[in-house]
A = this chain, B = another copy of it.
Amino acid sequence: MKKRGRQGSVTSATAQVACAACGLKPFCTASPPGSANAPCAPRRRLRAGEVLYAQGEPAAALYAVRAGFFKSCVSAASGEPRVVAFHLMGDVLGLDALGGAMHRSTAVALGDGEVCRLALTEAERLMSDHAALAAGLRARMGAQLADAGERMVALCAMPASERVAAHLLEVSRRWAERGYSPSEFGLCMSRKDTGSYLGLTLESVSRTLSQFAASGWIALAGRSVKILDRAALEAQVAGE
């Protein structure tokens, strides 16, 4: 569970860019009011499969992904846990706990990864001092809220092929935002997780991906994907 061969090229060597686009950067630089160049707060390394926080746990901090790939799950009463989001470096985890006292989802590392931790007490203190920080976090939450709404639409009432195509393009976009190739990247997640996220079974995901490959839209080798015909995927999302 330590070597990941082909996929390694994508998830390694990522640490140095993380801070530039990090969601918690404003907090980080404002943190010690005197020394502006102090590094980010305590970091934590996680092995593949390790949980960062679990649903129901008291919430004590926000986390920014420095390296690696994470998923957020919620387990409904009586039922398999479902994946509700994936997180790449720069993303902020734990926002859904801001209101209540507990985490309402479980965050798990999909590969070896590292996060920066910002204690909630510290976050609250900083925000009451610097209104701009509070506004920034609100903006991030608002965007996440809007995204969630749009994802509901996208995922709940689209045929399997459109969901998978949409997911491929979303992952592509998010890698591109971070400076990686938009056409050749690693999915970093199992077919099972993908299915859970998209509301499909792993068989349907596998079948659909194979079919895309057979049509020449993509080339796939395990979890690494190469987009050959982006226009076809976009047409698929729009419903042919």
**Which chain A residues have a beta carbon within 8 Å of chain B's beta carbons?**
72, 74, 76-79, 82, 84-85, 95-100, 104-105, 124, 127-128, 131, 134-135, 137-146, 148-157, 199, 237-239
Known A96-B142, A98-B139, A104-B146; further 10 A-B contacts with Cβ < 8 A? A72-B149, A74-B150, A79-B153, A79-B239, A84-B152, A96-B146, A97-B146, A98-B142, A104-B150, A128-B135
The smallest beta-carbon distance between A199 and chain B, in angstroms, is 4
> A142 contacts B95, CB within 8 Å?
yes
Residue of B nearest to A195 (CB): B157
List, in ascending order, chain B residues with CB within 8 A of A154's CB.
76
List, in ascending order, chain B residues with CB within 8 A of A150's CB.
74, 76, 104
A105 to B143, CA, bound (A): 12
User: 10 A–B contact pairs at CB < 8 A?
Assistant: A72-B149, A74-B153, A79-B153, A79-B239, A82-B157, A84-B152, A98-B139, A99-B141, A131-B134, A148-B148
Number of copies of this chain that the complex holds: 2
The smallest beta-carbon distance between A26 and chain B, in angstroms, is 14
Residue of B nearest to A125 (CB): B131
> B141 contacts A98, CB within 8 Å?
yes
The smallest beta-carbon distance between A78 and chain B, in angstroms, is 5
A153 to B137, CA, bound (A): 25
> A238 contacts B78, CB within 8 Å?
yes
> B104 contacts A149, CB within 8 Å?
yes
The smallest beta-carbon distance between A122 and chain B, in angstroms, is 14
Pick from B95, B99, B100, B149: contact of A96, CB below 8 A.
Answer: B149
> B149 contacts A100, CB within 8 Å?
no
Closest 7 CB pairs of A and B: A98-B142, A99-B142, A99-B139, A128-B131, A156-B199, A104-B146, A96-B146
> A145 contacts B78, CB within 8 Å?
no
List, in ascending order, chain B residues with CB within 8 A of A140's CB.
99
List, in ascending order, chain B residues with CB within 8 A of A105's CB.
146, 149
> A84 contacts B153, CB within 8 Å?
yes
A9 to B78, CA, bound (A): 37
Residue of B nearest to A145 (CB): B96
